[in-house]
Structure 1
Amino acid sequence: MPQIVQLPLIFASQLFWLVVVFGIIYFVIAKGMVPKIQSVVEDRDRKIADDLAAAQKAREQAETSEGVYRERIEAGRSEALKVAQEAKTKAALDTEKKLKAVDEKVGTRIAEAQARIRAAADQARLELEPVAAEAASELVTKLTGQKVSAKDAEPAVKAVLHG
């Protein structure tokens, strides 16, 4: 094979050009591309660090806002409970006043009704006395055969009825 025979003759020149080409490629990559890649990576790392710092700051602000929000909610809840308790107390007092007024009206009506009942009972007793005296005189007449007038029987009936 003729290529193998020529190998020692062209080996040195191929090796030279190989080193030259790789050297050029190395310098182009090392001096041109690597700094750009490193700056992009550094910018990216810096951006990530800034974003993480901003996220941490936002988190702290959110926690602070949440604390303030919770305090406001608790204050509002306390105020609502206080207002509800005051309303309950006021309603209880109003109800108590209304119940007293109604109780007084009912008590007055009961007293009036009792007075009317007593008057009616007294009137009934007054009307009952002559009827009872007459019935007593008739009973005495039927039982004993003696005739007793209703006027004579009235004192006995009054004594029994009035105790």
Structure 2
Amino acid sequence: MTKNLIDSQEGIPGMMEDTGANFPPFDSATYGSQILWLVITFGLLYYLMSKVALPRIANILEVRRDRIASDLGEAESLKKETDEAIASYEQSLAEARQKAHGIAQSARDTAKADIESKNAEIEADIAKQLVAAEEKISAVKAKAMGEVEEIAQSTTEAILEQIMGSGVAAKDVAVAVAAAKAN
């Protein structure tokens, strides 16, 4: 059957006929010319790459390297500025805290001194009032003690008059009150 198929294809135009020739890249008779054209093509490509494409790529890489280096330098300088700003801020904050602490301490000391002076004034005023009150009490007490005899005599006379129904001599009542006071 395959033989019939091969026989039937012989008459078809465009079908390969076995002429005994090999595929040109594998033909040993064309190796020399193929190698020559390979060397010429490789040389031209190498020349074009080394003179046109590679310098452009090298230039692009150089520009990128320079840009990266400048960006890193700028970032480093910005980092230094930031560190300096942070240090300055922390120092200012510490100074402000110290100042606030000093102001608070000063305010406490001033308030304490003011309170102590007011307390001293109040204590002095209270002492004056106490002395005045003691003087008044002594005066009232002395006056009351001076009137006690009189009150005792009049009270005794009134009681005796109620009990006895008649009056007693004031002289006798005064002597009895004096005797009771002495005991």
Which TM-score band (shorter chain)?
A: 0.7 to 0.9
Alignment of 1:7-156 (within 5 A): 7-133=27-153, 149-156=172-179
C-alpha distance in structure 1 between counterparts of 2:154 and 2:40, whole Å: 161
Post-superposition offset of 1:152: 0.8
C-alpha distance in structure 2 between counterparts of 1:151 and 1:106, whole Å: 43
Post-superposition offset of 1:91: 0.9
SS, match of residue 59 in structure 1: helix
> Percent identical across equivalent pairs?
26
Normalising by structure 2, we get a TM-score of 0.67
Normalising by structure 1, we get a TM-score of 0.74
SS, match of residue 134 in structure 2: helix
Q: Which amino acid aligns with 2:176?
A: A
Match of 1:4? Answer: 22
Post-superposition offset of 1:5: 6.9
Distance 1:3 1:157, change over 3 A: farther
Q: Which amino acid aligns with 2:98?
A: S
Distance 1:5 1:88, change over 3 A: closer
Maintained 8 Å contact 1:136/1:153: no
If each structure's helix is expressed as a fraction of its own residues, which one has the higher value?
Answer: 1
Maintained 8 Å contact 1:133/1:154: yes
Note the residue ranges of structure 1 that are not aligned, 5 or more in a row.
140-146
Larger radius of gyration: 2
Match of 2:14? Answer: none
Deviations 1:9-60 (A, max 9, x none): 3333333222222222222222111111111112222222222222222222
Greater relative contact order (CA < 8 Å, ≥ 6 in sequence): 1
Note the residue ranges of structure 2 that are not aligned, 5 or more in a row.
1-17, 161-167
Deviations 1:92-124 (A, max 9, x none): 111112112222222222222222322333333
Q: Which amino acid aligns with 2:138?
A: R
C-alpha distance in structure 2 between counterparts of 1:111 and 1:5, whole Å: 142
Match of 1:143? Answer: none
Match of 1:144? Answer: none
Distance 1:150 1:134, change over 3 A: farther
Q: Does 97-106 or 150-159 show the bigger shift? A: 150-159
Q: Which amino acid aligns with 1:55?
A: A
C-alpha distance in structure 2 between counterparts of 1:31 and 1:48, whole Å: 26
